[in-house]
Amino acid sequence: MNLPIVYHPQYVAPLPDEHRFPMSKFTLLYELLVRKKIAKSNDIYFPEFPEESLLELVHSNNYITAYCQGTLKEKEQRRIGLPWSEALAKRTCIAVGGTILTAKLALKFGLACNTAGGTHHAFRSYGSGFCIFNDLAITTRVLQKLKLVKTVLILDLDVHQGDGTAKIFQNDPTVFTFSMHCESNFPREKQKSDLDVSLPQGLDDDGYLQILSEHLHDLLSQIKPDLILYDAGVDVHAQDHFGKLSLTDTGIYRREMLILSSCIAQGYPVASVIGGGYSKDLKSLVERHSLLHRAAKEVYEFYQL
């Protein structure tokens, strides 16, 4: 048994302005994982479309219907930042299915990785910042509804604050939202997570990892979650177009090893999503995202899950 990896069809061709939102990175990442034998055919899982009733566990019925039918107001569509198409709507829905499946696999095998996911800027009744439906929130609610988990810890290390997730779970004692992000970055108006750690611009590997390790131990011992949803955004990288931190590839790999080995060693299942990452240089970007899967494979094998 190898590390379970989830991949779903993309349905959309890359957008012309890849610098802005490189859709094709998902396919390239999957191809890289297969080529490097990090993803092995028996351990690749393909999600199904989620029933609309699952999306409704988090999002308003009006918003789901308007988005899926392409009838959102122009202003709402602009806030998402992606042009509507039937193909994108389809991809958005199956992406949610991907994170649900990743979480179920994590509960079964201890650790599982998605090759997409982390749409943390989506709120109950609107999307923003390239995020349409909040896969982390929906997954949490689905697993709770199925009584597979009670308490969930959402570890959001994308460089941007997980504002949609924070707002959705505000005042919910069963879900702990942790967001460690660059203070002077999108979204301008931050929400209140259960714990926010704001980082200064330009923070390097050692500074970042020191702050993270200071928080991680307490988080695990105090919350004792049934499941951890880990958003491993790589927009913390020095070369990221939208990030303002200064991590290197080595720093990101050390981060993934720290998170995954700490959680797994203490017996907490982890479902990882790739989160944000933006660069004109797609090859380097995809390598950066694959650090999560490389670290996960190592941890998975070390602990013989």
157-184 per-residue burial string, b: 16 or more CB within 10 A, e: under 16 = bbbbbbbbbbbbbeeeeebbbbbbbbee
* Closer residue to Zn ion (CB): 43 or 135: 135
Q: Give yes or no for residue 158 binding Zn ion (CB under 5 A).
A: yes
What residue number has its CB nearest to Zn ion? 276
Q: How many residues bind Zn ion (CB under 5 A)?
A: 5
CB of 120 to Zn ion, least distance (A): 8
Nearer of residues 97 and 276 to Zn ion, judged by Cβ: 276
Which is closer to Zn ion, CB of 117 or CB of 233? 233
**Residue (122 or 223) nearer to Zn ion, CB:** 122
Pairing of strands 111-114, 195-199: unpaired
Q: Scanning residues 215 to 244, which ones bind Zn ion (CB under 5 A)?
A: 233, 235
Task: Choose the binding region for Zn ion from 37-45, 189-197, 207-215, 274-282 (rule: CB under 5 A).
Answer: 274-282
- CB nearer to Zn ion: give 119 or 140: 119
Q: Which stretch binds Zn ion (CB under 5 A): 17-25, 75-83, 213-221, 276-284?
A: 276-284
Residue 19 CB, shortest distance to Zn ion, in Å, is 15
Closer residue to Zn ion (CB): 66 or 282: 282
d(CA 44, CA 5): 5
Site string for Zn ion, 239-268 (x = CB under 5 A): ------------------------------
* Closest CB 130 distance from Zn ion, rounded Å: 9
- Cβ proximity to Zn ion, 43 vs 158, nearer residue: 158
Closest CB 78 distance from Zn ion, rounded Å: 19
* Among the listed residues 160, 190, 293, 297, the single contact to Zn ion using CB under 5 A: 160
* Minimal distance, residue 185 CB to Zn ion, in Å: 8
- Which residues lie near Zn ion (CB under 5 A)? 158, 160, 233, 235, 276
